[in-house]
Amino acid sequence: MRPASVSDYRELARRRLPRVLFDYIDGGSYAEATLAANVDDLNALTLRQRVMRDVSRLSMQTELFGQTLSMPVVLAPVGLSGMYARRGETQAARAAKAAGVPFSLSTVGVCTIEEVAAAAGTAPWFQLYMIKDRGFMAQVLERASAAGCPALLFTVDLPMPGARYRDTRNGMIATNVAQKLSQAIDGLAHPGWLWDVQLNGGPHTLGNVAGAAAELRTITDFWAWIGRNFDPSVTWDDIAWVRERWKGPIILKGVLDVEDAAEAVARGVDGIVVSNHGGRQLDGVASGIAALPRIAEAVGDRLTILMDGGVRSGLDVLKALASGAQACLIGRAWAWSLGARGEAGVGHMLQILRGELRMAMALTGCTDVRAAGPHLLDR
């Protein structure tokens, strides 16, 4: 099958990946109501079709934090993506660079900051999860700065991991013989992934935190360690600690409330991502697109606003821009594409988004993404 959409790549990833990995990408927390709302609420927004406009020249170019983007899309940080394809973060970063958009590296990615920067020829945005060992976190920030990472995504909506029922049911963190045997059988049932990643894609560690503890050797070891070491005591005052150690742009990822957005402005951050962590944390909260307009109205003239959650097409990107975002982060879209066909899949998926965005702009009469606004929506 030649994929024509993000949903096609999702299906290809489902076929190629072991179940535990596909469910990790695909799933959300609890009943997955917010996961569904992220997609459904975007689909429910309608664009205004306009005609007889000169759309012979369309500009998708935008600027974020001193970078010029070929379109208003950023590859969001996705943990464990080095397990979806061989050294997966490096492949996705190369595809992003070729497409002219930023790639964001997760704290809990398989590949290190340095490996990704060397492979792509440019440093990624870096996502920060705060852990209890502040000395080690200072070292990680120093490494990101030394590598030239242009922006820091400080993820603030994970003081503790959400309850992800799929991961529990499928035994993602295998703790007994039956679960380990089940995972081994599942891996053998996916020989393409087995050869590409399990046999030839090592080391299978979380590279950016590998120096934190000598006893960490397997993904299971790392995941247990992360669960013990994520810092639930983080408050707004910790932004000052980060700012002392990071001189570039700081973007808070996980803001969903107007009062929190206003506090982010007061604390002097450079941007926020309106996000519910892709429906993977607190179920039953607003979708990103539902929360976006009121946040944009409240603080949009004082910092840069990005959005993620449920973005599956270029049409969704335009709807987000019209609702107050300056760009979208995409997570599952690139993870599915990576799991399906590696670097080529991510590159092709970005081409699909670009074509869909171009078409949506032309049929709404929007000739420049920077001019997108509520007038594009049929309310």
Q: Please enumerate in sequence order all residues whose Cβ is within 8 A of that of 301, keeping only pairs 6 or more positions apart, or say none.
A: none
Round to whole Å and give the CA distance between 329 and 177.
38
| SS3 assignment, position 177 | helix
Q: What is the mean pLDDT of the chain?
A: 94
pLDDT of 214: 58
**Which pTM was predicted?**
0.95
Mean pLDDT for the stretch of residues 338-366: 98
Task: Please tell me the distance from the alpha carbon of residue 303 to that of residue 283, in angstroms, as a whole number.
Answer: 27
Residue 96 has pLDDT above 80, yes or no: yes
pLDDT of residue 212 exceeding 90: no
Is residue 277 part of the annotated active site? The answer reads yes
| % of the chain at pLDDT higher than 70 | 97
Alpha-carbon distance values, 105 to 10, 33, 76, 154 (Å):
21, 27, 8, 12
Catalytic member of 204, 277, 348, 375: 277
Instruction: Compute the distance between CA of residue 111 and CA of residue 90 in angstroms, rounded to an integer.
Output: 7
Tens digits of residue pLDDT in 20-65: 999 999 999 999 999 999 999 999 999 999 999 999 999 999 999 9
Instruction: Say whether pLDDT at 179 is over 80.
Output: no
More confident position, 108 or 11: 11
Domains of the chain: 6-163+190-364 (3.20.20.70)
> Does residue 257 register a pLDDT over 70?
yes
- Mean pLDDT for the stretch of residues 192-209: 91
Q: How far apart are CA 121 and CA 126, in angstroms?
A: 15
For the ranges 116-125, 211-220, 298-307, the lowest mean pLDDT is seen at: 211-220
Amino acid identity of 76? A
CA–CA distance, 153 with 92 (Å, rounded to integer): 18
pLDDT tens-digit series, residues 230-247? 888 999 999 999 999 999
